[in-house]
Structure 1
Amino acid sequence: NELFAGISQIDTGVTTVMDVSQIHHSPEHSDAAIEGLADAGRRAVFGYFEGHGDRSQYPQDARRIKQQYFSSDDQLLTMVMGGEIYLPGYETSWAIGRELGLPIALHVVGTFGMAGTFDQLAEAGEFGEDNIFIHMTGMSDMAWQRAADAGAHVSLAVPIEMHMRHGTPPIQKALDLGMTTSLSSDVECTMTADPFTQMRGLITLQRMFVNEAALSGAQDYPALMQCADALRHATIDGAKGLKLDRVTGSLTPGKAADIVLLDAEALNVAPLNNAAGAVVTLMERTNVDTVLVAGRPRKWQGQVVGFDIARLRSELTASRDYLFETAGVEQDLFAL
């Protein structure tokens, strides 16, 4: 799963990802997740989140993982500490993350009953520049202001938030407070993880809010998001949130050669009239011609390179079949 999903995202033009893996049921699970990220060969931030069962060593095993795999920041893989506030004892996770100097990431969803705990953390001054808040739906104005004042980062998964009843994606709130905001695909088993879908979801929703205000007769309403803004949220703002903007996120001399070449002469784009507009409103996976990560080709002239896709697909299918059989779930390709 980890490796196959990584290859799939490379195919869509994603050079860098934060992996929120909530499967740390044992140290071996954690090691395997890191191995999958490494084998994919792209820049990745390993998110050490919770697991379940008697063999789970979360969050204490973060110390071993950090020492064994992430003792240097000068590598493709770095680490983030998961600190979900819906879990009992989340305070320990936050403390270990800060002890190890790791960013602390968490889902913040009002419909899951997190607003009260989030308010308490805000009032206690626990927010910091090391926080990555995913979703941020349904939170109080006070908590938003404290998060902005602390320099926390917000990551929005607009299609997922609308699809999974998380609440209204708070894009305008983040913009109004001047917060650095990135895009999240959240969960690929529910919605595609390609960046074009995320950018289009973001700009379409923001413009819907603004257009509705204008049509309703409001005299004062926000500016329309531009395609260049959506592209920024998908690139350099994501790098800033992961503390990787010194390395990646823009084509800047001295940074790593994380580069995506897009076909602007394809039928769905030609003739090219505006670069950012074409990327955000017209392009999709088939326009991704070449992907370089740290200068190394991971996709070349339309094909991912270095992987036996047929074998990996077969292994993934076998894993799916095993899970369905073990859980007693009947496969139905045409279920409603």
Structure 2
Amino acid sequence: MCRLCDEGRPQIGCDEPRRNFLKASALVGAAAAASTLLASNPARAQDMPSGTGEDGRRVLIRGGHVLSMDPGVGDFAEADVLISGKAIEAVGPDLDAGDAEIIEAAGMIVMPGFIDTHHHQFETALRSFLADGILINDGTPQGAVNYYEYVLQKFSMVYRPQDVHINELFGSLAQLDTGVTTVMDVSQIHHSPEHSDAVVQALKDAGRRSVFGYFEGWGDKAKYPADARRLKEQHFASDDQLLTMVMGGEIYIPGYEEAWKIGRELGVPVALHVVGTFGMQPTFDELAKAGQFGSDNIFIHMTGMSDMAWKAAADAGSHVSLAVPIEMAMRHGMPPIQKALDLDMQPSLSSDVECTMTADPFTQMRSTFTLQRAFVNERALAGEENLPKLLSSQDVIRFATLEGAKGLKLDHKTGSLTPGKEADIVLLDASAINVTPLNHVPGAVVTLMDRTNVDTVMVAGKIRKWRGELLDVDLPKLRGELEASRDYLFKAAGVERDLFRV
């Protein structure tokens, strides 16, 4: 082991962190990793295609209920998806498999992997800590326990690079397990280049499609936006990889103008939280009036903003990411679902903070689906006419897949089962007890399913979860590392951990 890794500082380009956290490496090969990790169920291991995602390897997902999310491809009660290497080759009934290995998908819904456009993965060790908390202390009793004070001003200040790595890695793998194949990680933990490198290493180690969100940390931040250039050149110069980059441009931090400038110089999207609770409306209005919004902007939450700024964002082609359960629970403001739709801004969905709410996509879809319908239904019961259209289950699946890909500028690679795109695919068990009998595919996904229905997950054609089991993961070791990080963080932040009270 190298000296720096021994000190707990994961180094980019060093393989030791991956060997520390993942049981099987590329050196032993996918087949050997599968046989080792699935030894408790050898029948499953023997049934799994080998070498998936590699050039020349062809796999046919046969006989599933195909939900493509591409109108040009269509949906099929029973059809196949043919994969060559990391790309989708064809979608349709009775495809000629040729030399392809077969994945039998009868009783499975075959669809694009879910996309989370805003997730603070560095907080994984803080899961459920602020389940009853709100965003900021506003003088109410609930405000005494708040995200701004506890997470941003206490916990985030004491993270070491090794804490960043295990939190990011564990959070990524947990989302892979629930079918999220793409994430924008809003890490907010870039206290040093070593912290930033630890984030990148963890995202690489997780092996899923990730957008590295270089958001300013807290404390001494003056030199860190400049590190964006190094990070972009060192880790994100190629488009032919799973990792891409977004520049954080938080307008509540002094000097945000420089971050916007750097992001646009680097040609990456500029993302930011836009929340009225933090008093952002005046600054946001100024940017709108100055014509600063663009199609490269990702606005997270968009609560409490003026009609003028909303129209400017829509006219500029900016994207909106909604975290509906968090916005409702943490007093960000009412989720502006209808506002976005009225302006023909198709939003994406995001999980936000696991210290308050789960990061699974089914919770995000169901919350968005039921809240928008509650708004419209209440207006209908009050006798209003010319009401907005009720969201359908297919609509919110689109938000959780294709619209997320568009917002992250990845729709040329993912978001739908379109031939030529990379094979980010999930197989959802529609024969399970919570779904049987299947009567409506989108409805089953949105209104009935949960994490337990995620059977198989592919990222760029490579199987990462097979028949309910994550691959290449030593979960007990990872859990121990995460718990050790949690214990350190609570102690270093001076926060007492009580399992029943905060």
TM range (shorter): over 0.9
- Aligned equivalents of 2:373, 2:359: Cα separation in 1: 22
- Aligned equivalents of 1:93, 1:14: Cα separation in 2: 28
* Secondary structure of residue in 2 paired with 1:15: strand
* Secondary structure of residue in 1 paired with 2:449: coil
Runs of 4+ in 1 over 6 A off after TM superposition: none
The 5 Å alignment of 1:229-244 reads 229-244=395-410
Higher relative contact order (CA 8 A, sep 6+): 2
* Secondary structure of residue in 2 paired with 1:78: strand
- Aligned equivalents of 2:325, 2:392: Cα separation in 1: 18
TM-score (norm 2): 0.66
Equivalent residue number for residue 470 of structure 2:
304
- Aligned equivalents of 1:25, 1:183: Cα separation in 2: 28
Q: Retained in 2: the 8 A contact 1:26–1:56? A: no
State yes or no: 1:92 paired with 2:258.
yes
Equivalent residue number for residue 63 of structure 1:
229
Equivalent residue number for residue 74 of structure 1:
240
State yes or no: 1:47 paired with 2:232.
no
The 5 Å alignment of 1:218-297 reads 218-297=384-463
- Aligned equivalents of 1:230, 1:308: Cα separation in 2: 34
User: Aligned-pair distance for 1:316?
Assistant: 0.5
* Secondary structure of residue in 2 paired with 1:270: coil
- Aligned equivalents of 2:222, 2:176: Cα separation in 1: 30
Q: Retained in 2: the 8 A contact 1:26–1:57? A: no
State yes or no: 1:211 paired with 2:354.
no
User: Aligned-pair distance for 1:111?
Assistant: 1.2
The 5 Å alignment of 1:115-130 reads 115-130=281-296
Q: Which runs of 5+ in 2 are unaligned?
A: 1-166
Equivalent residue number for residue 344 of structure 2:
178
- Aligned equivalents of 1:135, 1:272: Cα separation in 2: 34
- Aligned equivalents of 1:107, 1:326: Cα separation in 2: 27
Alignment deviations for residues 3-53 of structure 1 (CA, whole Å, 9 cap, x no partner): 000000000100000000100000000000010011000000000001234
TM-score (norm 1): 0.99
Q: Which runs of 5+ in 1 are unaligned?
A: none
Paired letter, 2:187: S
State yes or no: 1:8 paired with 2:174.
yes
* Secondary structure of residue in 2 paired with 1:133: strand
State yes or no: 1:317 paired with 2:483.
yes
Equivalent residue number for residue 354 of structure 2:
188
- Aligned equivalents of 2:324, 2:237: Cα separation in 1: 34
Equivalent residue number for residue 331 of structure 2:
165
- Aligned equivalents of 1:10, 1:153: Cα separation in 2: 24
User: Aligned-pair distance for 1:221?
Assistant: 1.1
- Aligned equivalents of 1:329, 1:89: Cα separation in 2: 31
- Aligned equivalents of 2:353, 2:484: Cα separation in 1: 21
Alignment deviations for residues 83-114 of structure 1 (CA, whole Å, 9 cap, x no partner): 00000010000000000001000000011100
- Aligned equivalents of 1:126, 1:249: Cα separation in 2: 28
User: Aligned-pair distance for 1:54?
Assistant: 4.2
Q: Retained in 2: the 8 A contact 1:128–1:151? A: yes
User: Aligned-pair distance for 1:311?
Assistant: 0.4
Deviates more, 1:179-188 or 1:281-290: 179-188
What is the Cα-based RMSD across aligned positions, in Å? 0.9
* Secondary structure of residue in 1 paired with 2:180: coil
